[in-house]
Amino acid sequence: MIGPRHRREPLTSKEVDATVHKLSRRGFAGGFAGLTALAAAAGLGLRGVSPSQAAANALGIVPEDLPAKTLRAAFSEIGFACSWCVRGADTAKFFGDLLGVEVTVYDGQLSADKQRQDIEDIAGKEWDFVAIHPLAINQYVDPVTEMISKGIPVIDMDTKLADDLDSLGIVTFLEPDNIYMGETMAKALFDAIGGEGEVIHTQGALTHTGAQGRAQGFQNVLASYPGIQVVDEQPADWDINKTASIWQDLLSRFPDVKGGYFHNDDMALAAYSIIEGAGKTEQIKVVGIDGMQPAAEAVRDGKLVGSVINPTGRIHGGAMWAGYLSATQSDKHQGGIPKFIRTDGGPITKENAEGFIWLGDNLLI
């Protein structure tokens, strides 16, 4: 009898169930929690390099329990300079191990031109499915259309590939409510500073529909706080070094600023280090967005006022399942895979931060 490692077909739904059942019998939460400890012991850490292979080996589910890689998938990320993308890649590769999918992840390096080159390269190769986290709307339509015309399922993650996704022909779009996230953190910040004072709004890439939604949420709430004065709104493009440089300058130009609103956690924490160096942590309150573990820890420890979950694990895990089920034509959902999947999470507070840290460490959000 040929064992699972040597199979030449994808896992059936029954075999997937059996694998998950084995994980459950070991203790599903404990098994995933083991990823953190194992990664730490190996000097990896879930904050950066993926621990999935080392952890799976140590748990005893490789090679006996997992299939050979019989499917190939490409994931295009806006850039590994963003921790959100790194943890998303971790999740995709972990589910790839479970499902027998060889996952290749492309690093867009926070450049729309670089990501365009990546997607053109992807379009010239053969894949069973492709998932894209686009930095710029409407910039990659031609290579995506080429892939879809060849019958390759394409999944859109987090931000829009195009204004008209229906006519583009993607499998599905998994998206958080960016306006809600922006509104939630804007209100938390404005309330924390007493509803008045100077605030800096540091944006992500302006071509990114997630940044556009977060900016809209900020403006929606700002309209109800006449005492808030926005003194700067320049984008830092998700770049922590650019953020630090901008905030070095802004603190000298606006010495009385009371709040910082950031489109992601990485930028918020980069600016916090500058604020801390200037001795102004009591004066300036800071909020982020995405709910990554370092931000959740900062909220727990009173350094950030708050963050809100943009579940990279759920989005990338959902993209893996959508791609796998499309490639194997094994989806059993009535009506097929929905064309739109909302992936919201909630705000992080001191009271719930520890739980979100645990979920994030275990690739569950």
Helix, strand, coil in percent for the chain, rounding step 5: 45, 15, 40
Percent of the residues in the chain that have a pLDDT greater than 90, as a whole number: 78
The residue-averaged pLDDT of 221-230 equals 98
The answer to whether 87 and 245 have CB atoms below 8 angstroms apart is no
Longest dimension (CA), the chain: 73
What is the SS3 assignment for 307?
Answer: strand
pLDDT digit string (tens) for 105-157? 999 999 999 999 999 999 999 999 999 999 999 999 999 999 999 999 999 99
60 vs 333, higher pLDDT: 333
Task: List, in sequence order, every residue forming a beta bridge with 173; answer none if it has no partner.
Answer: 156, 340
Percent of the residues in the chain that have a pLDDT greater than 70, as a whole number: 82
pLDDT of residue 361: 84
* Residue 183 predicted with pLDDT over 50: yes
Task: List, in sequence order, every residue forming a beta bridge with 102; answer none if it has no partner.
Answer: 72
The residue-averaged pLDDT of 232-244 equals 97
Q: How confident is the model at residue 82 (pLDDT cuts 50, 70, 90)?
A: very high
What is the SS3 assignment for 341?
Answer: strand
Domains in the chain with CATH codes = 4-177+311-361 (3.40.50.2300), 178-308 (3.40.50.2300)
* Residue 19 predicted with pLDDT over 50: no
Q: How far apart are CA 154 and CA 156, in angstroms?
A: 7
pLDDT of residue 67: 84
pLDDT of residue 64: 60
pLDDT digit string (tens) for 259-277? 999 999 999 999 999 999 9
Q: How many CB atoms lie within 10 A of CB 282?
A: 7
- For residue 37, what are the contacts with CB-CB under 8 A and spacing of at least 6? none
Nearest to 108 by CA among 124, 120, 94, 97: 120
Q: How far apart are CA 227 and CA 236, in angstroms?
A: 25
* Residue 245 predicted with pLDDT over 50: yes
Please tell me what DSSP assigns to residue 10. P
